[in-house]
């Protein structure tokens, strides 16, 4: 009897455990969950040739997958593919994150038909696009119409320069106001001569593709002419190799034009280093050891501007600087005796040479500035009236 009771209880316990286990399983869920569904495909893939380019870009846009919404997590991204025929073979252009609906393919050959397709992918797999788009052809153009305003200004400027040059050739020299900073250069060289010390000329810290470097090197010729005239040595440490060779020619030209070619010292121009602070170290060494009486900084400068100008100030040298880098101008204004601001740097070579044909370029620039000021005022009035045609025309890409 007792054995029968134990057997019954054991059976009941087994049944209870089995049923209970089943209940637990039903409550916690199966360890092998059903995978989420593959995302619905994107649709409406359209293409357009990018205008005003060399025919190597196509803009593509599409409607996102209906499952591509924040929080669902069904779409991880899109795969854009490209082929030269509607049936492939397909090459992946790019893999794009979810919520993207536009892309510019900038890696195509011009005048070649391309077909595109787009797929959405997510944890549930990849859904290929329902349809391809194409043929998309990148067409090149002969003129970038978004730059027509720049062309107009360049043409006007060229015409103005030619007009003032023709006036200069008839003997009418344009008026030019005095620039104290440039007048100070001769004063500085004169002082160096009196003290029997050299002049240090720094043509900036950028390569020849920077126009400020070109302007600095052009001014160097006039400065070298003055140092040759006063028989004062000049030192020109240069940061880049191409400006270095041009600087040599400029100094040589200055000595020749001053009628003292024999006084030209080839070692007066030296190559230092394009590394910014290595260049500063060399120049600081020259300032502190050789003690030049005049420091002339003309060109493009960055963080080294104050390092150089303050070191120079501590030596008591007369300092003249010129740059168009607006963020460095305050440093030069504070630490130097005279500073050429922005356009004065470009005007300096014409001013120093006094040649009418060079000065005519300045006159043309002034006239263009007046034109620009009038255009800005007109633009302000038109924008206030809700007319945007002028500002749209002046926007460039």
256: tokens are 């020749």
Say whether residue 218 binds other proteins (CB under 8 A): yes
CB of 285 to other proteins, least distance (A): 7
Say whether residue 173 binds other proteins (CB under 8 A): no
Helices (H), the chain: 2-28, 148-169, 180-195, 211-230, 241-257, 276-289, 304-315, 329-335, 343-353, 356-384, 389-394
Say whether residue 271 binds other proteins (CB under 8 A): yes
Q: Quickly tell me which residue has 């052809």 as its tokens.
A: 137
Among 234, 324, 337, 339, binds other proteins (CB under 8 A): 324
Question: CB-hemisphere CA count at 13 Å for 218?
Answer: 18
Instruction: Rank residues 21 and 285 by Cβ distance to other proteins and give the closer one.
Output: 285
| CA–CA separation, 198 and 192 (whole Å) | 6
**306-322 in b/e burial notation, b at 16+ Cβ within 10 A?**
bbbbebbbebebbbbbb
Instruction: Single out the residue of 353, 340, 311 nearest to residue 200, CA to CA.
Output: 311
CB of 215 to other proteins, least distance (A): 5
Give the list of residues 6+ apart from residue 304 with CB closer than 8 angstroms, or none: 205, 276, 277, 279, 280
Binding positions for other proteins, 67-106, rule CB under 8 A: none
Q: How many residues touch other proteins (CB under 8 A)?
A: 84
Segment contacting other proteins by CB under 8 A, of 11-19, 92-100, 335-343, 386-394: 335-343
Say whether residue 329 binds other proteins (CB under 8 A): yes
**97-135 in b/e burial notation, b at 16+ Cβ within 10 A?**
ebebeebebeebeeeeebbbbbbbbbebeebebeebbbe
Instruction: Rank residues 131 and 152 by Cβ distance to other proteins and give the closer one.
Output: 152
Say whether residue 319 binds other proteins (CB under 8 A): no
CB of 141 to other proteins, least distance (A): 6
Among 95, 261, 381, 395, binds other proteins (CB under 8 A): 261
Query: What is the β-pairing status of strands 113-122 and 125-127?
Result: antiparallel
CB of 186 to other proteins, least distance (A): 18
Binding positions for other proteins, 10-39, rule CB under 8 A: none
Among 11, 19, 154, 180, binds other proteins (CB under 8 A): 154
Say whether residue 263 binds other proteins (CB under 8 A): no
Say whether residue 375 binds other proteins (CB under 8 A): no
Instruction: Rank residues 55 and 135 by Cβ distance to other proteins and give the closer one.
Output: 55
φ/ψ of 357, rounded to 5, equals -65, -35
Alpha-carbon separation of residue 285 from 243, 254, 376 (angstroms): 21, 26, 48
Say whether residue 370 binds other proteins (CB under 8 A): no
46: tokens are 């359209």
Among 185, 215, 234, 321, binds other proteins (CB under 8 A): 215
Say whether residue 390 binds other proteins (CB under 8 A): no
Q: Chain-centre distance of CA 251, in angstroms?
A: 32
Binding positions for other proteins, 109-148, rule CB under 8 A: 110, 140-144, 147
Say whether residue 240 binds other proteins (CB under 8 A): yes
Contact 103, 60 (CB under 8 A): yes
Among 211, 375, 390, 394, binds other proteins (CB under 8 A): 211
CB of 233 to other proteins, least distance (A): 14
Segment contacting other proteins by CB under 8 A, of 87-95, 121-129, 322-330, 386-394: 322-330
CB of 257 to other proteins, least distance (A): 6
| CA–CA separation, 171 and 350 (whole Å) | 16
Among 58, 75, 294, 335, binds other proteins (CB under 8 A): 335
| CA–CA separation, 204 and 271 (whole Å) | 13
Binding positions for other proteins, 287-306, rule CB under 8 A: 289, 303, 306
Binding positions for other proteins, 340-359, rule CB under 8 A: 341-343, 345-347, 349-350, 357-358
Q: Quickly tell me which residue has 């409550």 as its tokens.
A: 27
């Amino acid at each position: 009897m007792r054995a029968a009771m134990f057997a019954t209880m054991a059976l009941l316990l087994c049944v209870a455990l089995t049923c209970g286990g089943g209940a637990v399983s039903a409550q916690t869920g199966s360890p092998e969950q059903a995978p989420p569904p593959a995302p619905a495909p994107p649709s409406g893939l359209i293409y357009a040739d990018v205008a005003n380019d060399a025919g190597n870009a196509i803009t593509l846009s599409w409607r996102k997958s209906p499952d591509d919404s924040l929080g669902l997590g069904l779409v991880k991204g899109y795969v854009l593919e490209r082929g030269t025929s509607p049936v492939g073979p397909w090459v992946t252009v790019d893999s794009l994150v979810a919520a993207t609906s536009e892309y510019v393919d900038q890696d195509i050959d011009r005048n070649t038909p391309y077909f595109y397709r787009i797929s959405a992918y997510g944890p549930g797999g990849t859904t290929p696009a329902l349809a391809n788009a194409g043929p998309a052809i990148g067409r090149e153009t002969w003129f970038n119409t978004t730059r027509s305003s720049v062309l107009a200004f360049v043409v006007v400027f060229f015409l103005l320069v030619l007009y003032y040059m023709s006036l200069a050739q008839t003997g009418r020299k344009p008026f030019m106001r005095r620039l104290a900073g440039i007048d100070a250069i001769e004063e500085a060289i004169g002082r160096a001569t009196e003290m029997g010390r050299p002049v240090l000329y720094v043509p900036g810290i950028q390569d020849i593709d920077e126009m400020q470097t070109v302007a600095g090197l052009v001014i160097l010729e006039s400065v070298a002419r003055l140092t040759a005239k006063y028989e004062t040595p000049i030192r020109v440490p240069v940061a880049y190799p191409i400006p270095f060779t041009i600087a040599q020619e400029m100094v040589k030209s200055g000595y020749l034009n001053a009628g003292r070619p024999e006084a030209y010292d080839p070692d007066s121009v030296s190559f230092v280093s394009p590394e910014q602070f290595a260049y500063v170290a060399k120049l600081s060494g020259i300032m502190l050891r050789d003690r030049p009486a005049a420091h002339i900084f003309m060109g493009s400068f960055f963080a080294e501007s104050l390092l150089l100008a303050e070191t120079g100030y501590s030596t008591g040298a007369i300092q003249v600087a010129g740059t168009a880098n607006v963020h460095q101008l305050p440093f030069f204004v504070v630490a130097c005796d005279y500073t050429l601001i922005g356009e004065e740097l470009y005007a300096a070579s014409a001013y120093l040479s006094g040649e009418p044909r060079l000065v005519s370029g300045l006159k043309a620039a002034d006239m263009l500035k007046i034109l620009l000021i009038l255009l800005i005022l007109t633009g302000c009035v038109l924008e206030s009236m809700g007319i945007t045609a002028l500002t749209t025309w002046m926007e460039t890409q």
